[in-house]
Structure 1
Amino acid sequence: MSLGQVFVSEVFGTALLLLLGCGVVANVALPKNNGFEGGFLMVNFGWGLAVFAGVYGAYKSGAHLNPAVTFGLLANDAGEYAKGVPITVTSTLVYLAGEMVGAFLGAVLCWMAYKKQFDERGDAASLGVFSTGPQIKSTPWNLMTEIIGTFVLVFVIITFGQTPSGLGPLAVALLVVGIGASLGGPTGYAINPARDLGPRIAHALLPIPHKDDSNWGYAWIPVVGPIIGGVIAGVLANLYI
């Protein structure tokens, strides 16, 4: 397929991912919702199912949906991956662009779906719907949490691609639920630079009344940490497999 088709596919799939992923957080975090205070486990399952939908939405391009996955495959020297798209520097840039644009659009669509809840949220914070943040601020350990969580994600995804499995997207969805339940507590488990940065930009730009700060001082951690984790996973998976 052409790189233009790759871009459109990744935009569509990543937009679905962020619409549903940010949507479940909005449902839990914003008052006047049926899912208000539904808990972190509800968020974990919501994100897992968001990945399930996103993978199908971007199946034509192999459904990276995540710069950490894209960099991991590049580091893994994967050659041609899914639908015959070569993993090169050029195609990597196209994947990254599609992922970022899709993440931003998905966050905007989430805001549109929950417009009245954002307007009438009272004292509830708005940033947590869009992006992640640590429970305990510690730059090296927050970074380590994101590296480890993303390593698990990318390593297992690459392994899925090398072993027979009938589960397909469901396997990745359950993997995301598992990572969230096991490793998501300290930082909210971004494990995806586009998932955090695209919506954070949307939060900064959207006309949300009385919105809180976008916390740009932390924003680099859920970008750099997942990329490091993805690259390590790609290299080690190449040696292991």
Structure 2
Amino acid sequence: MSNSEIFYGEVLGTAVLILLGAGVVAGVVLKKSKAFGAGWVAITFGWGIAVLAGVYVSTEISGAHLNPAVTLGIMIVHGGWSQFWVYILGQFTGAMLGAIGVWIGYYGHFHAHLTDREEEGGSRTPGVRAYDEPRPTRERRAATRGEPGPVLGIFSTAPEIRVYWQNVATEILGTFVLVSVVLATGVNDALQVTAIGGLLVALTVLGIGLSLGGPTGYAINPARDLGPRIVHALLPLPNKGGSDWSYSWVPVVGPMLGGAAAAGIHQLVF
């Protein structure tokens, strides 16, 4: 595969991954969505399907790594380091484009959610659109102080209990499982995730979400978290609050360590 094929394939696959994955979170979180309140099971199934779609649209082009931790694990085992940064650049570019796609798809819903006075116990003025209304007090405080805003979870992850060593460990464990499955079942000699491998990886992501996703939201992919977090910081969303940069290193460092550990164990075992 050429560098251009790898780049464009990873952009396409990761964009589809984030569009569908972050999209299901937006559908569940945003109050005016028809899927509002569907819950954690809907989110985990949505992310599993997002992985499946991302893999299938890109595996014949770039190999469908779609994740820097997966790329790291594959290259530790199989080599190909000269193209490492091409994969990484494509993945982060695709993740940001996918996040922008979610913003476009739910544009009105973001504004309605972030400016809805009903959340504060108020009422709407008849005939006035939600996104024209005054800013709710709680969201004003979050935006002023730079605290994580009410829709940040659509774009990136955050822990339910902020204990950094535990949060890193959770991300290491989840990514270790993911990359172990990729290496054991899903990669051919051309460093491509195979068709059956893509299905198994998608089911594994579903399983990780259901079993290990509760503590941190299971980023298990640095591009999936950091790319959309940057988009959140840049988007002109009202009352969006901060992007939680103090936590942003965890879903980068944890998955990369997990991917490297999985590759090391794979080499010892196989």
Asked whether the two chains share a fold, i.e. TM above 0.5, the reply is: yes
TM-score of the pair, normalised by structure 1: 0.93
Partner of 1:144: 169
- Cross-structure match for 1:64: 65
Give the CA deviation at 1:212: 1.7
Q: Secondary structure at the match of 1:167?
A: helix
Correspondence 1:51 to 2:51: yes
- In the other structure, the counterpart of 1:84 is none
TM-score (norm 2): 0.83
Partner of 1:172: 201
- Tell me which residue corresponds to 1:95: 87
CA distance in structure 1 between the partners assigned to 2:187 and 2:225 by the alignment: 28
Shift of 1:168: 3.4
Q: Deviations over 1:137-162 (max 9, x none)?
A: 00100000000000000011100037
Whole-Å separation in 2 of the counterparts to 1:68 and 1:129: 21
The worse-fitting range, judged by mean Cα deviation, of 168-177 and 41-50 is 168-177
Mapped to 1, the partners of 2:86 and 2:199 lie a distance apart of 26
Deviation >2 Å, runs of 4+ = 165-168
**For residues 162 and 196 of structure 1, do their structure 2 counterparts lie closer, same or farther at Cα, with a shift above 3 Å needed?**
closer
Q: Take 2:209 and 2:85, find their aligned partners in 1: how far apart are those partners?
A: 28
- Matched to 1:199, the amino acid is P
Determine if the alignment matches structure 1 residue 191 to structure 2 residue 220. yes
RMSD: 1.5
Structure 1 segments unaligned to the other structure (5+ residues): 80-86
Identity of paired residues, percent?
Answer: 53
Q: How far apart, in 2, do the equivalents of 1:166 and 1:7 lie? A: 20
Structure 2 stretches of 5 or more lacking a match?
120-148, 189-193
The size of the alignment, in residue pairs, is 231
Q: Give the Cα separation in 2 of the matches to 1:239 and 1:61.
A: 27
Contact 2:178 2:205 in 1 (8 A): yes
**How far 1:166 moved relative to its partner?**
7.2
Q: Secondary structure in 1 aligned to 2:66?
A: coil
User: Which residue type is aligned with residue 155 of structure 1?
Assistant: S
Structure 2 distance, partners of 1:166, 1:19, is 21
